[in-house]
């Protein structure tokens, strides 16, 4: 090899970014070089160095508008001053105690004040744990062990909640034409599948028929009425009516998973859909950016966890449950996410969807943005999205989405890998315009390529 070739190669090679170097380093000690499947995308994500408001600054000093907001858990963006102040105060007093603290009362009271259906609460450390606790609570109350969930809907990584999370077209229906119970993780015990009934998100008649047959054996039905994996479109009122009817008729408890969608209304999403859950599962924004989960409900339901008279029907606790840092950050987060803030952020989300959808339509792009309030998700293709099956990207869309995600990131905006996002209170109209323009440009480039 001549020295001139060597020189040319060296000149052509871009210096390795600090994020690329971090990824190389992480691959040696972490499987896949990333702690979370959901936040990884090829060749590797930028590594965050710090955050300020709605911005992330990465290791290479790039400012990125953050619409992922740690999978929608940050409603005030990063380093929100009231949360920083609350945490600074709390941390000086110690981080974990084997005793109760007043902070846990204050956060539980704040939830109850927003929605009387959240009269009592038990905190844990993740939404997954909250869903597991609610399911166990329903089992302990009813003495039954089976549950029903909606096809494709994500409720964390508890075995039963994961059933049919990502079933493929060739395995969608069972012999009777109903959604099949399909394992998500390899090695899922067959009993988990037998004990988890899968319901269709947008077919009220089929849903009612399945519940008529299975209802008497069910402890709980868990649902999220605006589920991201079902396209972030609302569950039809007729399906909700079928669920309510089955619960009334067969004594099934209703769990509404508000881990993501609590941010859509001051009292969460249940009141917006006329739902009166027995248990509500919470997480994300109620922890102000720290690990959190919670199961809430009316006192007579939450009694299943009551240990005051000896061993409860269902024991619920954990070493770091209701830790003082999470309680302090969560209270600051909710205090500043009051009725006006909720309304402002929801309106901003509506403006974003309008701007994107009008822009896509004007440009003749077969693409639309779904969502509600401050949450949004991009759908490629012109078909109507009504449920998990219609929301599931077609093979060509599965290939296009990462390119659109990458182009939007190149324009300085972080979405989740499936091109969904959440707005945060530091954002305003300028950010809405930036997101809309970047998305329209990215989809235009993809379609014209
Ligand atoms: C609707 C829903 N439920 C539960 C969970 C699980 O929450 P966590 O990631 O805190 O375990 C999530 C997480 O994204 C979620 O979206």
**Residue 143 and residue 12 share a domain:** no
**Residue 358 and residue 319 share a domain:** no
100 DSSP 8-state letter: -
Per-residue model confidence as pLDDT tens digits over 171-228: 999 999 999 999 999 999 999 999 999 999 999 999 999 999 999 999 999 999 999 9
The CATH number linked to 321 is 3.40.640.10
**Residue 347 and residue 315 share a domain:** no
**Residue 318 and residue 368 share a domain:** no
Span of 14-18, 45-49, 415-419 with lowest mean pLDDT: 14-18
Please report which confidence band the pLDDT of residue 12 belongs to, taking 50, 70 and 90 as the band edges. low
Per-residue confidence (pLDDT) for residue 244, from 0 to 100: 98
Please report which confidence band the pLDDT of residue 4 belongs to, taking 50, 70 and 90 as the band edges. very low
**Residue 311 and residue 216 share a domain:** yes
Q: Residue 358 and residue 50: Cα distance in Å, rounded?
A: 34
Domain closes at, from 335, 350, 366: 335
CB 444 within 8 A of CB 405: no
**Residue 256 and residue 371 share a domain:** no
Q: Find out whether the beta carbon of 257 lies less than 6 Å from any atom of ligand 1.
A: yes
CB 61 within 8 A of CB 24: no
Mean pLDDT over 129-158 rounds to: 98
Residue whose Cα lies nearest atom 16 of ligand 1: it is 260
Domain count, the chain: 2
Q: Find out whether the beta carbon of 287 lies less than 6 Å from any atom of ligand 1.
A: no
Per-residue confidence (pLDDT) for residue 5, from 0 to 100: 37
Per-residue model confidence as pLDDT tens digits over 299-352: 999 999 999 989 999 999 999 999 999 999 999 999 999 999 999 999 999 999
Domain containing residue 388: 3-78+338-448
CB 371 within 8 A of CB 113: no
Q: Which residue reads 């995308």 in tokens?
A: 41
* HSE, side-chain direction, 13 A CA sphere, residue 184: 17
Mean pLDDT over 395-416 rounds to: 97
CB 117 within 8 A of CB 277: yes
386 CA to middle of ligand 1, Å?
Answer: 21
Task: Give strand pairing partners of 56.
Answer: 51, 64
Q: Residue 138 and residue 279: Cα distance in Å, rounded?
A: 8
**Residue 29 and residue 89 share a domain:** no
Q: What percent of the chain has pLDDT over 90?
A: 93
The CATH number linked to 74 is 3.90.1150.10
Mean pLDDT of the chain: 95
Please report which confidence band the pLDDT of residue 11 belongs to, taking 50, 70 and 90 as the band edges. low
Domain closes at, from 335, 356, 386: 335
39 DSSP 8-state letter: T
What letters, b where the CB count within 10 A reaches 16 and e where it falls short, cover 422-442?
bbbbbbeeebbebbbebbbbb
Q: Find out whether the beta carbon of 258 lies less than 6 Å from any atom of ligand 1.
A: no
In this predicted structure, the answer to whether residue 101 has a pLDDT above a threshold of 70 is yes
**Residue 52 and residue 31 share a domain:** yes
**Residue 348 and residue 331 share a domain:** no
**Residue 59 and residue 91 share a domain:** no
**Residue 342 and residue 237 share a domain:** no
**Residue 293 and residue 172 share a domain:** yes
Q: Find out whether the beta carbon of 267 lies less than 6 Å from any atom of ligand 1.
A: no
Please report which confidence band the pLDDT of residue 39 belongs to, taking 50, 70 and 90 as the band edges. confident
In this predicted structure, the answer to whether residue 66 has a pLDDT above a threshold of 70 is yes
Mean pLDDT over 433-442 rounds to: 98
Domain closes at, from 335, 358, 387: 335
């Amino acid at each position: 090899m001549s020295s001139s070739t060597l020189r040319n190669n060296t000149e052509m090679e871009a210096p390795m970014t600090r994020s690329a170097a971090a990824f190389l380093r992480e691959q040696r000690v972490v499987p896949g070089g990333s702690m979370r499947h959901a936040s990884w995308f090829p060749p590797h994500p930028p590594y965050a160095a710090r955050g300020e408001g709605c911005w992330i600054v990465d290791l290479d000093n790039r400012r990125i508008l953050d619409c992922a907001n740690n999978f929608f858990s940050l409603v005030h963006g990063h380093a929100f001053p009231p949360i920083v102040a609350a945490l600074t105060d709390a941390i000086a007093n110690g981080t974990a105690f084997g005793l109760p603290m007043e902070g846990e009362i204050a956060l539980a009271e704040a939830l109850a004040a927003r929605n009387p259906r959240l009269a009592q609460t038990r905190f844990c450390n993740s939404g997954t744990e909250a869903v597991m606790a609610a399911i166990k609570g329903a089992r302990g109350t009813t003495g039954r062990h089976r549950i029903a969930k909606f096809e494709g809907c994500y409720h964390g990584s508890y075995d039963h909640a994961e059933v049919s999370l990502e079933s493929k077209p060739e395995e969608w229906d069972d012999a009777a034409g109903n959604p099949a119970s399909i394992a998500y993780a390899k090695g899922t015990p067959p009993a988990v599948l037998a004990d988890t009934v899968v319901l269709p998100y947008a077919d009220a008649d089929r849903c009612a028929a399945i519940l008529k047959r299975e209802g008497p054996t069910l402890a709980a039905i868990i649902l999220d009425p605006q589920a991201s994996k079902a396209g972030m479109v609302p569950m039809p009122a007729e399906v909700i009516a079928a669920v309510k009817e089955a619960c009334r008729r067969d004594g099934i408890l209703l769990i509404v998973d508000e881990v993501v969608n609590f941010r859509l209304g001051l009292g969460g999403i249940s009141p917006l859909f006329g739902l009166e859950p027995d248990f509500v599962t919470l997480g994300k924004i109620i922890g102000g950016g720290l690990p959190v989960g919670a199961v809430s409900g009316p006192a007579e339901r939450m009694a299943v966890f009551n240990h005051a008279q000896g061993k409860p029907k269902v024991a619920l606790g954990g070493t770091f449950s209701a830790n003082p840092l999470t309680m302090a950050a969560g209270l600051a987060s909710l205090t500043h996410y009051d009725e006006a803030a909720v309304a402002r952020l929801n309106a901003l989300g509506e403006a974003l969807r309008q701007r994107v959808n009008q822009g896509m339509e004007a440009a003749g792009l077969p693409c639309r943005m779904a969502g509600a309030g401050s949450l949004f998700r991009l759908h490629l293709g012109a078909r109507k999205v009504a449920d998990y099956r219609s929301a599931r990207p077609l093979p060509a869309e599965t290939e296009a989405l990462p390119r659109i995600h990458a182009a939007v990131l190149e324009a300085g905006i972080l979405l989740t890998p499936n091109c969904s996002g959440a707005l945060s209170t530091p954002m305003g109209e300028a950010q809405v315009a930036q997101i809309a323009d970047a998305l329209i440009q990215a989809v235009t480039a993809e379609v014209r390529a």
